[in-house]
Amino acid sequence: MKFGQQLRSSIIREYQWYYIDYDGLKAELKNASGAPADTPENVDEAGPSTTSPAKKNGRAQRKKRWTEEDEQAFIAKLYAELEKVYTKTKVKQSEIQRRIAVSEREVREVVSRATERGLNEQGPSEEEFILLEEDLSDIIADVHDLAKYVQINYTGFYKIIKKHDKLTSWYLRPAFDAALKKKPFYNEDFDAEVVKLSNMYNNVRTRGNPVKGDSAAGGSQGSFVRQTTKYWVHPDNVTELKLIILKHLPVLVFNASKEFEIADSAITSIYYDNPDRWDLYEGRLKKTEGAEAIRLRWYGGMQNDTIFVERKTHREDWTGEKSVKARFSMKEKNVNAYMRGDLLPTALFEKARKDGKKSEKAIAEDESLAREVQYSVLKNGYRPVCRSFYNRTAFQLPADARVRISLDTELTMVREDNLDGTRRSGDNWRRMDIGIDWPFSQLPPSDVLRFPYAVLEVKLQTQHGQEPPEWVRQLISSHLVEAVPKFSKFIHGTASLFPNRINLLPYWMPQMDVDIRKPVTHNFGIQRPDNSPSGTTSDYDEDDSDVEDIPESTTENTSNGHNGLSSGARSVILGDVEGQTTSDPVPSADYPLYDSDDESDEEDRIEEARRIGGWTYISTITHSYANRAGRRALQVLKAIAPRPRSTTVPRSNRNQMFFGNQEIQNKKFKAPKGKKIYVPVRVEPKVYFAAERTFLGWLEFSIYVGAIAATLLNFGEKPTRLAFMAAGVFTLLAVLALCYSVGIYLYRSKGIRERKVIKYYDKIGPTVLCGALFVGVALNFAFEGKDRSLCYGSGHHVLGVVASAVRYPGARQPVPGISLAD
């Protein structure tokens, strides 16, 4: 849908007078006050003074020129709108922070009464906890509404700037960027609020008895196994997703003893590989058995002295083992010496043995891992090639890894190599010209890749056959996420940063240009309490002139919209119920998203042609209607044209779990020129055995055909020329079947070994072989019957055929005991 319509349907009542005046700014662009611009076809060769009156009247209807006065008026209105949005954002954010502070004191007081009361003292009632939970839910809804308000206004400002630069040819984007940096209303990620709300909500939800345990994000994890599924999250949905998850799982912070800082969520990894062969890249991409990934990781800023050396090992399911990530830690000052082989693992863990803080078994496991990693690096020539940086928000019950959800935002990949002669990391194990100062604007574009989405990882440790919690199933099947199985930051960063060296691409690379936002599928999300005093509905006052511009379908859909924000999502029809109302998709729209960058091109052309008038307007509107009629005719022809129709296959349990009952779209993508897209193919040992059994089946069939040929040739009383020909046909069939089966077996074995997506079924070979066998038997029967005397006397009787058929092949006389008279 158009952005103006999307803006109107997303209005929150509390903010309804503080949104960008998008329609007003558009009207400013259409009201140029300058004189019409002369064009070559409207000016005679003698100059403007000789222009005919008719042409002067035509020129008066032409588009007026955008003047400096128009530009100043537009800028004044634009900056006034920016000031309005910025002020409202800051005021609301301050209000939310004050409410959080008040709620924090109330929660602390109630929890202390519940946990520190004496034997005869009465603790807080259940009603008090319910009221606190409702108050926190209301604050969470306020944070959500503010995030949506910021997001849609930010989009509106840049859409109107793009439209301005296109229609007026006065480029305002650079100046507006500078003005926006002075009033960065969009620069709020609400992470601090999310952490505080998570802690309070967890205390209230558990009635003052939260789960205790190790909350360090990277502290005590040694070797662990998880079943992980990955999803992409559009930036518009990041805050909403965080707020939804924190109501079920608390935020897992780095250091619970201090106030949250942005640096606490930063995670940086350096990935190693052999730049000549890219062994680790291809192994992880193809998911071969035993494929490894080696990386060095640290948490927080560059001043962090603890570096984790990690090795991921992929295991196929048929092996009975699970993919494992193992790691050990060392001091940053020892990394270079260790990676060069100057510092041996024995010396690396000498101090740990003396301190005695870890068991001898744990130290021995770490030392064994360090020895294996060092040997692999030195043997294969692994060097740092790629860095990944992101801010992680992890959700998990402390000391309980059954459900762990992490959301990585600001994901960025950076080159760490020196392959093109540029000294990035030099002889050091990492480059030192950047830290955690995202978005790393000091780097050249060729050295950095800013990933456009957040990455959600859902990690489950459930027993065999046990399903994940219901809220997790609803989350992963909602419109907020896009499933991308086996997504890897290392694979994506390497493939994107080394386009001239990597020719095998992951399957998701062609999907990077596809908008992953989806329509709302079910009622899931933030719920505002019904008795909340702060209302947020999208209905307008009755005398608002903009109401007439809202399509009826939008109003109708709002009545049953399921955005999951509140129970008042049906307020437009059912009454003045407080709540957010982002409507469901309009039936006539293919996608419930606001317009893309090029959506208004046709509308702008028609508007400009209307102002010019005459033949220009007639031709433009005719061309528009013709294109629309052509598209509809093409859709009708595709619908009625006879063609093979696909058979409906029942949805698998895995797809049902991931996607529910919503429609799954299948799209085909083509690899860039000179590149190949690798699609993950799962191969189990039974696949090899199946190919071998098929080959043995062909051999058995070939032996049968050869036996028939030998019987026809050798077991007749007096072999004839026809019997010899039939035997030859069967012999040729047997030889061809043998050669064909060997070729098919080798072809399939190579495809399975190389994990190629080829056709492993054969609908031609068996059909041809059976048909040839049938023809051979029929011809043998016909020629033998013709060559023999099928009847005696004057009549041709069917008994003669029967007698001829049952006698021995090649015999001239009927079988003893059977006569024609019988």
pLDDT given for residue 514 in this prediction: 83
Write out the two tokens for 58.
């035509």
Tell me which of 112 and 407 has the higher pLDDT.
Answer: 407
> Of all residues in the chain, what percent carry a pLDDT higher than 70?
70
Which position has the token pair 């020895």? 371
Residue 446 per-residue DSSP state: G
In whole angstroms, what is the distance from residue 580 CA to residue 148 CA? 10
Write out the two tokens for 255.
């250091």
In whole angstroms, what is the distance from residue 304 CA to residue 298 CA? 7
**Active-site residues: which are they?**
489
Q: What is the DSSP annotation of 748-763?
A: HHHHHHTT-------S
Taking alpha carbons only, the member of 298, 308, 198, 217 closest to residue 255 is 217
Ramachandran region of residue 293, left (φ > 0), alpha (ψ -120 to 50) or beta?
beta
CA distances from 226 to 212, 323, 458, 469, 561 (A): 21, 8, 10, 16, 36
Which position has the token pair 């936002």? 517
In whole angstroms, what is the distance from residue 540 CA to residue 722 CA? 95
Tell me which of 33 and 172 has the higher pLDDT.
Answer: 172
Helix crossing, 721-753 with 685-714: angle to 10°? 170
Taking alpha carbons only, the member of 384, 392, 373 closest to residue 494 is 384
pLDDT given for residue 416 in this prediction: 93
Least confident among 15-29, 174-188, 308-322, 570-584: 570-584
Beta carbons within 8 Å of 703's beta carbon, 6+ residues apart:
734
Tell me which of 574 and 392 has the higher pLDDT.
Answer: 392
In whole angstroms, what is the distance from residue 237 CA to residue 243 CA? 10
Residue 629 has pLDDT above 70, yes or no: yes
Q: Taking the CA of residue 161 as centre, how many other CA atoms within 13 Å lie in the half-sphere pointing to its CB?
A: 19
> Of all residues in the chain, what percent carry a pLDDT higher than 90?
17
Write out the two tokens for 443.
């780097």
In whole angstroms, what is the distance from residue 666 CA to residue 671 CA? 16
Q: What is the DSSP annotation of 2-19?
A: -HHHHHHHT--GGGTTSS
How many beta carbons lie within 10 A of that of residue 608, not counting itself? 16
Least confident among 130-144, 639-653, 678-692: 639-653
Q: Are 263 and 253 in contact (CB under 8 A)?
A: no
Please state the pTM of the whole predicted model. Answer: 0.68
Helix (H) or strand (E) holding 414: strand 403-415
Amino acid (1-letter code) at residue 468: P
In whole angstroms, what is the distance from residue 118 CA to residue 138 CA? 32
Average pLDDT of the segment spanning 719-723: 69
pLDDT given for residue 288 in this prediction: 83
In whole angstroms, what is the distance from residue 45 CA to residue 43 CA? 7
In whole angstroms, what is the distance from residue 760 CA to residue 770 CA? 20
In whole angstroms, what is the distance from residue 140 CA to residue 103 CA? 12
Residue 446 has pLDDT above 50, yes or no: yes
Arithmetic mean of pLDDT over the chain: 75
pLDDT given for residue 36 in this prediction: 60
DSSP E strand stretches across 694-790: none
pLDDT digits (tens, 9 = 90+) for 476-535: 888 889 989 889 999 999 999 998 899 889 989 888 888 888 877 666 767 676 655 444
Least confident among 131-140, 173-182, 246-255, 746-755: 246-255
Average pLDDT of the segment spanning 168-181: 85
Average pLDDT of the segment spanning 374-394: 93
pLDDT given for residue 273 in this prediction: 94
pLDDT digits (tens, 9 = 90+) for 355-365: 888 888 889 99
Q: Are 432 and 301 in contact (CB under 8 A)?
A: no
Taking alpha carbons only, the member of 640, 668, 629 closest to residue 757 is 668
CA distances from 489 to 218, 232, 411, 435, 658 (A): 19, 12, 9, 18, 22
Average pLDDT of the segment spanning 699-708: 84
| DSSP H helical ranges for 277-348 | 279-286, 335-340, 345-348
Q: What is the DSSP annotation of 502-524?
A: --EEETTGGGGGS-------SS-
Residue 81 has pLDDT above 80, yes or no: yes
Angle, vertex CA 459, rays to CA 455 and CA 464, nearest 5: 145
pLDDT digits (tens, 9 = 90+) for 36-47: 655 444 444 444
Tell me which of 606 and 88 has the higher pLDDT.
Answer: 88
pLDDT given for residue 657 in this prediction: 60
Residue 673 per-residue DSSP state: T
Burial of 642 from C-beta contacts in 10 A (0-12 / 13-18 / 19+): exposed
Tell me which of 216 and 323 has the higher pLDDT.
Answer: 323
* Cα–chain center distance at 312: 22
In whole angstroms, what is the distance from residue 774 CA to residue 768 CA? 10
pLDDT given for residue 404 in this prediction: 86
In whole angstroms, what is the distance from residue 237 CA to residue 244 CA? 11
pLDDT given for residue 398 in this prediction: 74
In whole angstroms, what is the distance from residue 408 CA to residue 438 CA? 13
Residue 810 has pLDDT above 50, yes or no: no
pLDDT digits (tens, 9 = 90+) for 416-440: 998 888 888 888 999 998 988 888 9
Residue 329 per-residue DSSP state: E
Cis peptide preceding 680, ω within 30 of 0? no
Q: Taking the CA of residue 735 as centre, how many other CA atoms within 13 Å lie in the half-sphere pointing to its CB?
A: 7
Residue 596 has pLDDT above 50, yes or no: no
Residue 738 has pLDDT above 60, yes or no: yes
Least confident among 22-26, 32-36, 162-166, 588-592: 588-592
Write out the two tokens for 56.
């002067």
Least confident among 258-272, 432-446, 504-518, 707-721: 707-721
Helix (H) or strand (E) holding 386: strand 383-396
Least confident among 158-162, 499-503, 674-678: 674-678
Where residue 269 falls among pLDDT bands split at 50, 70, 90? Answer: very high
Where residue 324 falls among pLDDT bands split at 50, 70, 90? Answer: confident
Amino acid (1-letter code) at residue 261: E
pLDDT given for residue 485 in this prediction: 87
